[in-house]
């Protein structure tokens, strides 16, 4: 226990038999109708009074690190501020209190919001079709790559290979493998980018697609993208764009103009909807003319003044769409759609243009002010995130993990560590555009201080960090190998 921040037991440990937050009369005698399903023993639900329950969860919430309490520069995750206006609109009863099985005539406003969001996504990306249903980026990848597979099948081809740069996010090879493709790695050049000639060498009549992230996960612009797209198309393959880093380009570059055929957009990254702690995300996918006929159902269409939903494959065929079918039961994360649309409308086109400019500026400020004490593996400016490796820690006995733990004591959420794998001991720092100069300066000073401590030989101090968190240094290997996931009474 330290002051008002108390050690918090599990809710089961707080429980006292017979205590309750409600006061209900005992039920009248009745014959049980559950038959064999009748519980044989007490199922062990916790018993707490209402204030005990409220305090339990409030205390837990205070032990959380979140974007609303600290700077959260987690690379590749775009942890930008979620404007409170987004929350206000998402809570409007016409959006928040509707049900996916309501007649469409009663949810015209919600469909209109979905149509408007779709319109913004198509305008920004220059693409021809969009689906809003995927639950997050990885699900969007599955959707987009399934469309590529369906397009190949429609051509009567069964191409088996997908090219993936070695710096790619793990979800790219995982998606390709889940769909039965063989993954072929493309090496990076010394400057951290993919070379069009390396791609061309690996392309053949068995190549289904390339999955490319731009800017890539090293925070670098892939300057060969148009040449890569041309070579991929020449070989009869498709170009999957991983749009997770779209915050660096939004309002400036249209992915369709880069030659991409399909791209997922993480609304929870680029368009500010909240994420972390497992969701909900939202990963709409945009399709070029070449793949537009393979968009999944359901989608919104206009029938005169009214909006309608195309819900099944037969209806889609009337639009010339060979639908993939459904990716989920209903229409996607309505609350996220409203938040993202609010963000777009409140920024406007000029505001979104400024978003990408400020995001890139902030990352370059961090890179410029840290590269004399940390080590940047690639020369030149970066896009929306700054990458460092652990060369500057050589012979200090201090690791990337130690620096990340010590940052917790300095009051910051650590950056992404050890990813991308191409940079040994990587630190991937993505500040986003929503941080002030003062916040960036405090973070930079904290890292400069830690780099100096490492050089000064304080490895034993680092080994004990963090010192101020409710839990200290954890044995992560043991936690992963021997997880204790169940609480047992009296154990």
Residue 287's SS3 state is strand
Tell me, residue by residue from 214 to 253, as one string, x for binding to ligand PLP by CB under 6 A and - for no binding. ---x------------------------x-xx--------
Structure tokens at 361: 């500026």
Per CB under 6 A, 284 contacts ligand PLP: no
Inter-residue contact 258 to 242 (CB < 8 Å): no
List the one residue from 89, 131, 146, 171 that touches ligand PLP (CB under 6 A). Answer: 171
335 contacts ligand PLP (rule: CB under 6 A): no
| Strand segments (E) across 92-152 | 129-131
Q: HSE-up of 265 (CA within 13 Å, CB side)?
A: 32
Looking at beta carbons only, is 77 or 355 nearer to ligand PLP?
A: 77
Q: How far apart are the first and last CA of the chain?
A: 22
Residue 307 · residue 301 · CB < 8 Å? yes
Q: How many residues bind ligand PLP (CB under 6 A)?
A: 14
- Residue pair 429/79 in contact by the 8 Å Cβ criterion: no
Answer yes or no whether residue 399 interacts with ligand PLP by CB under 6 A: no
How do 207-213 and 161-165 pair as beta strands?
Answer: parallel
Shortest distance, CB of residue 392 to ligand PLP, whole angstroms? 25
Cα within 13 Å of Cα(41), Cβ side: 1
Q: How far is the CB of 267 from ligand PLP (least distance, A)?
A: 9
138 binds ligand PLP (CB under 6 A): yes
**Cα–chain center distance at 434:** 17
Looking at beta carbons, which residue is closest to ligand PLP?
Answer: 137
Minimum Å gap between C-beta 264 and ligand PLP is 7
Q: What gap in Å lies between CA 401 and CA 379, rounded to an integer?
A: 24
Query: Smallest distance from the beta carbon of 169 to ligand PLP, in angstroms?
Result: 3
Q: Does 213 bind ligand PLP (CB under 6 A)?
A: yes
Residues in the chain, overall count: 491
Whether the ω angle into residue 153 lies within 30 degrees of 0, i.e. cis, is: no
The answer to the question of residue 173 lying near ligand PLP (CB under 6 A) is no
80 binds ligand PLP (CB under 6 A): no
Is 266 among the residues that bind ligand PLP (CB under 6 A)? yes
Does position 332 bind ligand PLP by CB under 6 A?
no
Residue selected from 283, 298, 335, 414 as contacting ligand PLP according to rule CB under 6 A: 283
**Of 463, 426, 64, nearest in space to 276 by CA:** 64
Nearer to ligand PLP, 245 or 432 (CB): 245
CB of 481 to ligand PLP, least distance (A): 25
Q: Is the dihedral of CA 200, 201, 204, 209 positive or negative?
A: negative
Q: Whole-number minimum distance, CB 343 to ligand PLP, in Å? A: 17
User: Is residue 267 a contact residue for ligand PLP (CB under 6 A)?
Assistant: no
Residues that bind ligand PLP (CB under 6 A): 76, 136-138, 169, 171, 213, 217, 242, 244-245, 266, 281, 283
């Amino acid at each position: 226990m330290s002051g008002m921040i108390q050690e918090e037991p599990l809710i089961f440990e707080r429980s006292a038999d017979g205590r309750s937050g409600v006061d209900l009369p005992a039920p009248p005698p009745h014959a049980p109708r559950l038959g064999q399903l009748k519980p044989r023993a007490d199922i062990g639900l916790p018993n707490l009074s209402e204030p005990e329950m409220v305090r339990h969860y409030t205390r837990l919430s205070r032990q959380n690190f979140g974007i609303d309490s600290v700077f959260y520069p987690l690379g590749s995750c775009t942890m930008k501020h979620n404007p409170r206006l987004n929350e206000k609109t998402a809570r409007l009863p016409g959006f928040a209190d509707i049900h996916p099985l309501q007649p469409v005539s009663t949810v015209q406003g919600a469909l209109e919001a979905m149509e408007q969001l779709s319109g913004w996504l198509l305008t920004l990306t220059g693409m021809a079709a969009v689906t809003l249903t995927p639950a997050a980026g990885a699900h969007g990848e599955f959707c987009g790559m399934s469309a590529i597979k369906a397009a190949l099948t429609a051509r009567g081809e069964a191409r088996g290979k997908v090219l993936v740069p070695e710096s790619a996010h793990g979800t790219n090879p995982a998606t390709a493998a889940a769909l039965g493709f063989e993954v072929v790695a493309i090496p990076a050049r010394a400057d951290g980018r993919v070379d069009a000639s390396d791609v061309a060498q690996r392309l053949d009549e068995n190549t289904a697609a390339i999955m490319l992230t731009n800017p890539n996960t090293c925070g670098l612009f892939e300057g060969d993208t148009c040449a890569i797209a041309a070579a991929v198309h020449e070989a009869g393959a498709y170009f999957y764009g991983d749009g997770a880093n779209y915050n660096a380009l939004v309002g400036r570059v249209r992915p369709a103009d880069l030659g991409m055929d399909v791209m997922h957009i993480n609304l929870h990254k680029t368009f500010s909807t909240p994420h972390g702690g497992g969701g909900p995300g939202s990963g709409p996918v945009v399709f070029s003319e070449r793949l537009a006929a393979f968009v999944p159902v359901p989608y919104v269409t206009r029938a005169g003044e009214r909006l309608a939903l195309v819900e099944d494959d037969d209806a889609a065929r009337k639009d010339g769409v060979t639908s993939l079918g459904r990716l989920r039961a209903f229409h996607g994360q309505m609350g996220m759609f409203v938040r993202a649309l609010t963000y777009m409308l409140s920024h406007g086109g000029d505001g979104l243009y400024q978003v990408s400019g400020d995001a890139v500026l902030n990352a370059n400020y961090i890179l410029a002010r840290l590269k004399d004490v940390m080590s940047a593996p690639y020369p030149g400016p970066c896009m929306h995130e700054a990458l460092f490796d652990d060369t500057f820690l050589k012979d200090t006995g201090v690791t990337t993990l130690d620096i990340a733990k010590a940052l917790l004591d300095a009051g910051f959420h650590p950056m992404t560590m050890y990813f991308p794998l191409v940079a040994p001991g990587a630190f991937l720092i993505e500040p986003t555009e929503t941080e002030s100069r003062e916040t960036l300066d405090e973070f930079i000073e904290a890292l400069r201080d830690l780099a100096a401590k490492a050089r000064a030989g304080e490895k034993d101090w680092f080994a004990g960090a963090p010192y101020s968190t409710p839990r200290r240094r954890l044995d992560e290997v043991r936690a992963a190998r021997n997880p204790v996931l169940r609480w047992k009474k009296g154990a």
